[in-house]
Structure 1
Amino acid sequence: MITDPALAPTRFLDSDTPALRDFALESAGKGSDRDRAVRLYRAVRDGIRYDPYSFRVNPRIFVASHCLTAPSAFCVPKAILLSAAARAAGIPARVGFADVRNHLSSPKLSAMMGSDVFRWHGYSLLQIDGKWVKATPAFDIGLCDRFGVHPLDFDGTEDSIYHPYDTAGRRHMEYVSEVGVFDEFPFDRFAADMRRHYPAMLARLEELDRTNARAEDSAFSGTA
């Protein structure tokens, strides 16, 4: 029985599932905890495409094994996946959250959110050689290349957090405040904050999902 909460499987960090164990074994490889953590970080960063429009307040999408098979994800599921994969590899891990202001957020996304502050931006905390370090696997390298953003790397010894400026010297990411660090993803608290801060965006996304569901039902029944 695992007694360390930073190594134990949970509802969302389901590190004991075969899918997570296989992913961790294949991606981490052999070597020191630092080397294996770096490989896991890159596998999650670049293996799961970042898409802010995949955002939903649905508990299913925050389960690590679901993120592993999803076509894309935003920062929170990707951080949960990295932390769960680290636990599956025997590396103590937690999930952390901060409110950040994205100075390069697209007008479309800012308008939908009603804000340029991304609340509960997710990152991982990994314990390597007795030290807790932050790792942010959100933006895949393909996205960074397209938008002129420095890709975040992780060396297993220092914190890997968003750059304040992009490659052209423009202001990029500003950390506004820390939310907290957790052994398990606090979905209820997260969902309550999302509904309080982004009610219009959630209503729009829910309507979009209903419209898509109706279209799929019509296509399936042959009435479209």
Structure 2
Amino acid sequence: MDSSFDQYLVATRFYDYDKPAVKAWADQVLEGVPGDPVEVAKALYLAARDDVSYNPYVFSDDPKTLSASHVLETRQSYCIPKAVLLGAAARYKGIPARLGLADVKNHLSSPRLIEWLRSDIFRMHGYIELYLNGQWVKATPAFNARLCRLMKVEPLAFDGVNDSIFQEYTDDGAQHMEYVNEHGEFADVPMDFILEGIQSAYPHLFDSDNQPRSVSGNMESELLK
């Protein structure tokens, strides 16, 4: 692997696998897992998907909330930080990782979330790309298995070979999600770019000082009602 991949392996303030908690989590996940990079990636993916509950209401403009260590501290987050957690653990184990961003249309969500966003377009949806067997492969650990069961979709699997970016259909055949705009891939988390995109898409979520308005919520609880 040439030096051009170094940028996808280093620890940063977001991919902070230099923090003991991130290392300990990854090491625990990989106990008994063969050292093959694909098997490592698959195990880390499942853990990032299911150890942290998906909750978009915890969005903040505080940079620390997009770090892997913060995700492990809170155990609830949304797509971008969960992808960063997977990427940080992968980098720690020598697998190059980079963040991908896109806008997606959700066809299945809680009514309150749609009301909160005033849109069914989710701006700045995050996934991770891992470099495995000589190619970049997309993985999306956003939606934990319990949430997927409540939404009547299969939890998104990842085999380390094929792109895994969305559950296209629900159990009853209805369309679930489609990607409507790609923003590209990034060696580190482009915090300013993400905030600008979210502010332009959902200006009502910010006050006159461009600070996110505080909101509480939990998608799993909403779907149980």
TM-score by length of 1: 0.88
Structure 1 residue 166 displacement after superposition: 0.7
Q: Which digits, 9 at most, give the CA deviation of each residue in 1:77-110, with x for residues without a partner?
A: 1001100110011111111111000011222211
The equivalences for 1:85-100 within 5 A come to 85-100=89-104
Give yes or no for the alignment of 1:66 onto 2:70: yes
- 2:99–2:126: 8 Å Cα contact kept in structure 1? yes
Give the structure 1 partner of residue 38 of structure 2. 34
Give yes or no for the alignment of 1:55 onto 2:59: yes
Superposed CA RMSD: 2.0
Q: Distance in 2 between matches of 1:173 and 1:106?
A: 14
The equivalences for 1:182-201 within 5 A come to 182-201=186-205
Which stretch has the larger CA shift, 48-57 or 174-183? 48-57
Give the structure 2 partner of residue 160 of structure 1. 164
Which stretch has the larger CA shift, 192-201 or 120-129? 192-201
Structure 1: runs of 5+ lacking an equivalent: 212-224
Q: Distance in 2 between matches of 1:145 and 1:52?
A: 18
Among candidates 201, 208, 214, match of residue 208 of structure 1: 214
- 1:56–1:202: 8 Å Cα contact kept in structure 2? no
Q: Distance in 1 between matches of 2:47 and 2:213?
A: 34
Among candidates 124, 130, 134, match of residue 134 of structure 2: 130
Which stretch has the larger CA shift, 17-26 or 190-199? 17-26
Give yes or no for the alignment of 1:15 onto 2:12: no
Give yes or no for the alignment of 1:114 onto 2:88: no
Q: Distance in 2 between matches of 1:16 and 1:45?
A: 21
Structure 1 residue 207 displacement after superposition: 4.4
Q: Which digits, 9 at most, give the CA deviation of each residue in 1:147-176, with x for residues without a partner?
A: 101210001010111122111111110110
Instruction: Give the letter aligned to residue 24 of structure 2.
Output: D
Give the structure 2 partner of residue 102 of structure 1. 106
Instruction: Give the letter aligned to residue 64 of structure 1.
Output: A
Q: Distance in 2 between matches of 1:122 and 1:53?
A: 15
**Count of paired positions:** 209
Q: Which digits, 9 at most, give the CA deviation of each residue in 1:56-88, with x for residues without a partner?
A: 222121011111111311111100110011001
Identity of matched residues, %: 45
Give the structure 2 partner of residue 222 of structure 1. none
